[in-house]
Amino acid sequence: MIAEIFEAVYTFIRMDILTTLGLLLVVAFLGSKIFQYFGIPQVVGFIVIGVLFGPSFLNVVPLELTEELTFVSQLALGLIGFDIGSHLMVADLKRLGLSIIMIVLFEALGTFIIVSVGVYFLTQSIFTGLIFGALASATAPAATVDVLAEYDSAGPLTTSLLAVIGLDDAIALILFSISAAFAESMLTSAELPSVLSIMQVPMLDIAGSSALGLGLGLLLNRILCRMKTQHDAMAVAIGFVILGVGLSRSLGLSLILTTMLMGFALINRNPQHTRHVRFMVEQAAPIIYVLFFALIGARLQIDLLPAMGLIGLVYILLRSFGKFSGAWLGAKLGGADPVVRNNIGFGLLSQAGVAIGLAIESAGRFSKLGPAGRDLGLLVMSVITATTFVVQIIGPIFVKFAITRAGEVGKATSPADTWASEAIPD
């Protein structure tokens, strides 16, 4: 009898998408409180609840549904990019500028080299090593931003982390374009394309995203200066974020880079908007973030963990070592504060959206190049999907460790309580 009731409820839930999303949202939010009770960042709870709801266990949220809800993930990434940009004041970047550049270059390039060499020795395949090295260079900003917001973190480490994870994906796209071109030439025994043709796509992506983001940010600033209430401003700002995400999708640009530069342009053109942007993010983003991370968890499949094998284990270890050692060396050479140098590597372990997107692109791109290409595409997909589950769980925990060790927890001020009804200054 109990089994029949459970099956009837389960069937009903699976029939209605809003019922499924509502249940996922409520359970993920409440379940995250258990993780918080034990000192674990809430984002880990969101992901774990998502895994339980996904095909690995209850299958309440099947893979087909997560594909249909891709727009939720893209909207969340747009808000995350906008939030990152709104923290990057020119004055702070000037003070930290050299160290940030050095950290980004060394953590991305260092990880690329270390993982490429390690995978090459394991597989004896140059192109396999290059592809995994390029994918390893990417860092997921979403989990990091969520942890920083949850613990009200502020300080030089927080600012450096936000800048690094915002710029990191641009480096990853360039490295992947170069590595994929080398892999294709090796798989087909064709002549290697020119440097100009290899760099054309990522550079156009970066330039287009920058122009679109800065343009939308400046336009948004002009409109917000004429808004009279906080709630009016929030509606317009969210609309602009959605517009930026939609245009980025239509034009094939990086939505994170677009929205990050939108927030960057807005805040630096009129710093008084900072508190109002924070209010918008604090009020509008939580629901989207909970669904975003829960859907990430639902997309992860536990049965793929054994498939990652030795390559997956080596990939995780070498990538973690590359991120930490590269960030430390870059911070050292860039003259960063010791609190940044000794902790920033711990905040760069998460990996999700960009890496999975590039892995999917690899599978489609190389599968047309014969048996060796198909094998490479399948290997990349299985390893990156499986390792993503691991780093998405441990990554937020290490971010919390980093900001706690740096003494930046609780240093941010929340505008939500004091600025909710204040008029926006001209």
Q: Which CATH number goes with the domain that contains 382?
A: 1.20.1530.20
The letter for the amino acid at 301 is Q
What pLDDT is recorded for position 275?
67
Which residue, 385, 392, 363, is CA-closest to 183? 363
What pLDDT is recorded for position 295?
84
Residue 46 lies in a domain: no
CA distances to 32, 48, 68, 291, 302 from 54, in Å: 17, 10, 14, 13, 10
Separation between Cα atoms, residue 241 and residue 256, nearest integer Å: 10
Q: Contact at 8 Å (CB) between 84 and 166? A: yes
Model-level pTM greater than 0.85? no
Report angle CA 156, 160, 166 to the nearest 5 degrees: 150
Q: How is residue 289 written in tokens?
A: 């973030």
Residue 203 lies in a domain: yes
Residue 423 lies in a domain: no
- Between 126-135, 190-199, 296-305, 368-377, the lowest mean confidence (pLDDT) is in 190-199
Pick the more confident residue, 396 or 423. Answer: 396
Residue 36 lies in a domain: no
Pick the more confident residue, 58 or 13. Answer: 58
Alpha-carbon radius of gyration of the chain: 21
Which residue, 220, 219, 137, is CA-closest to 174? 137
Report angle CA 182, 184, 185 to the nearest 5 degrees: 65
pLDDT above 50: residue 419: no
Q: Determine the structural domain holding residue 396 and report its residue range.
A: 70-405
Most confident region among 77-86, 185-194, 357-366, 406-415 by mean pLDDT: 77-86
Q: How is residue 303 written in tokens?
A: 């049965």
Number of separate domains in the chain: 1
Separation between Cα atoms, residue 368 and residue 34, nearest integer Å: 47
Residue 55 lies in a domain: no
291, burial (CB in 10 Å: exposed 0-12, middle 13-18, buried 19+): buried
Q: Contact at 8 Å (CB) between 162 and 142? A: no
Residue 136 lies in a domain: yes
Residue 154 lies in a domain: yes
- Between 27-36, 123-132, 373-382, the lowest mean confidence (pLDDT) is in 373-382
Query: Which run of H or of E encompasses 23?
Result: helix 17-37
Alpha-carbon torsion 182, 186, 188, 189, what sign? Answer: positive
Q: What confidence tens digit (pLDDT) does each residue in 238-266 have?
A: 889 999 999 988 988 888 888 888 988 98
Which residue, 31, 12, 73, is CA-closest to 289? 73
Q: Contact at 8 Å (CB) between 135 and 125? A: no
Confidence class of residue 3 from pLDDT cuts 50, 70 and 90? very low
Confidence class of residue 8 from pLDDT cuts 50, 70 and 90? low
Identify each DSSP E strand in 132-209 by its residue range: none
What pLDDT is recorded for position 392?
84
CA distances to 274, 282, 298 from 152, in Å: 15, 11, 27
Alpha-carbon torsion 144, 149, 151, 153, what sign? Answer: positive
The letter for the amino acid at 5 is I
333, burial (CB in 10 Å: exposed 0-12, middle 13-18, buried 19+): middle
What pLDDT is recorded for position 353?
66
Most confident region among 108-117, 229-238, 364-373, 411-420 by mean pLDDT: 108-117
Confidence class of residue 195 from pLDDT cuts 50, 70 and 90? low
Q: What confidence tens digit (pLDDT) does each residue in 200-231 have?
A: 767 788 888 889 999 999 999 888 888 777 77
191, burial (CB in 10 Å: exposed 0-12, middle 13-18, buried 19+): exposed
What pLDDT is recorded for position 196?
67
Average per-residue pLDDT for the chain: 82
What pLDDT is recorded for position 330?
94
Residue 322 lies in a domain: yes
Q: Contact at 8 Å (CB) between 132 and 380? A: yes
